[in-house]
Chain A
Amino acid sequence: MRKQIDATQRMPINMSHDWHKLFSPLRAESAPTFDVRQAVLQQIAQTPSRYSDEPILRWLMVASVTAASLVWAAVLPNLGKPSEPHVSYVALIESMDVSAEFYSAR
């Protein structure tokens, strides 16, 4: 890890200029814009319960992840899989990427 950080710091200045130049066509291109106002308002109108139940959902998710990681910590070593509890926890979070990342945004 240490070596890689040092290598990053040693990158010659002109190299970083080259990378910026390489990506200039993507920076220069025009992007489409969309009018999503109606669609967003419709979606919001359909999800009032999710909004009001949000703290409960968050607690439920945290509780279920904790419970699952405890179960995994107890069960996996017995199955002969060399897994640590935190590895199982991370794997579970990874598999739940939608909600986990959404909730970690707060």
Chain B
Amino acid sequence: MAVNNDDPGAACSDADDIAASLAGDHGAFARIVDRYQADVSRYLWRFTRNENDCEELTQTVFVEVFLSLASFSRKVVFWSWIKVIATRVGYRYWRRQTKSRKLGNVALHEASVMVQSSQNVVDQAVKNDEAGRLFAMLEELSPRDRLVLTLMYIEEQSVAEISAVTGWSQTLVKVQAFRARNKLKQMVERRDAEANRRDSKDAD
């Protein structure tokens, strides 16, 4: 995280820029974007590995931050508040994807992803092969299961933090995490069993 929330200077400039943005100073909002865009895009990379989609989601987060700025409470750390919006934007993206998969638009989406992929992305995928496999496994879970595992184990947020970001109760977070872990475990076991069956067939 590039921003140090304990730094009073950073907090002060956030407060000044928020006030100026609300007064109609777009330059002040540009400074907010400059300050947080790296953190937001890194956070949204947990939600998509498509660079174009990630960039678009990053833009959406800042537009929603701007539109909601009047409701920002000074009692909350600004970055935590942005993360709530980023989480909702990312979660909506997953739900749209799930819906489009159900409607049979997967082939179309995958084709567009392939066209958009640059050589850099391919290189990154090869380098992070294990990460890629894990990400693909998470993609098979429901958006809620995926969200709780992503926040708990990739973002390493506590139950209280997840509760604050998602709006779920802490009990619901624990239950959701328990169910999601079980589903992932079953998925891994099923895949292992299939791989073993294939191996034994090949051996025959």
Q: Which residues of A contact B (CB under 8 A)?
A: 1, 4-5, 7-9, 11, 19-20, 22-23, 25-37, 39-41, 43-45, 47, 50-51, 54, 97-98, 101-102, 104-106
Q: Which residues of B contact A (CB under 8 A)?
A: 26, 29-30, 33-34, 37-38, 41-42, 45-46, 51, 54-55, 58-59, 62-64, 66-68, 71, 84-85, 88, 91-92, 95, 124, 128, 130-131, 134-135, 149, 152-154, 156, 167, 171, 174-175, 177-179, 181
Whether the Cβ atoms of B33 and A37 lie closer than 8 Å is yes
Whether the Cβ atoms of B92 and A98 lie closer than 8 Å is yes
Whether the Cβ atoms of B131 and A29 lie closer than 8 Å is yes
Question: How many angstroms from the CA of A36 to the CA of B54 in the assembled complex?
Answer: 11
Question: How many angstroms from the CA of A104 to the CA of B156 in the assembled complex?
Answer: 25
Question: How many angstroms from the CA of A13 to the CA of B178 in the assembled complex?
Answer: 14
Pick the contact of A44: B63, B92, B167 (CB < 8 A): B63
Residue of B nearest to A23 (CB): B153
User: Which applies to chain B's interface (DSSP): helix, strand, loop or mixed?
Assistant: helix
Pick the contact of A34: B29, B37, B66, B92 (CB < 8 A): B37
Whether the Cβ atoms of A36 and B178 lie closer than 8 Å is no
Residue of B nearest to A46 (CB): B63
Provide 12 A-B residue pairs closer than 8 Å at the C-beta atoms, listed in order of the A residue. Answer: A19-B152, A20-B156, A23-B134, A27-B153, A27-B156, A34-B37, A34-B41, A37-B30, A47-B67, A101-B91, A101-B92, A102-B64
Residues of B contacting A7 in the complex (Cβ-Cβ under 8 angstroms): 178
Whether the Cβ atoms of A97 and B95 lie closer than 8 Å is yes
Known A-B contacts A7-B178, A19-B153, A26-B131; the reply to A36 vs B33 at CB < 8 A is yes
Whether the Cβ atoms of B134 and A22 lie closer than 8 Å is yes
Whether the Cβ atoms of B167 and A104 lie closer than 8 Å is yes
Residues of B contacting A106 in the complex (Cβ-Cβ under 8 angstroms): 68, 71
Known A-B contacts A19-B181, A23-B134, A29-B128; the reply to A105 vs B38 at CB < 8 A is no
Pick the contact of B64: A19, A23, A105 (CB < 8 A): A105
Known A-B contacts A1-B175, A105-B88; the reply to A32 vs B134 at CB < 8 A is no
Question: How many angstroms from the CA of A8 to the CA of B175 in the assembled complex?
Answer: 7
Beyond A27-B153, A40-B29: 4 further Cβ-contacts under 8 Å? A5-B174, A44-B63, A98-B92, A101-B92
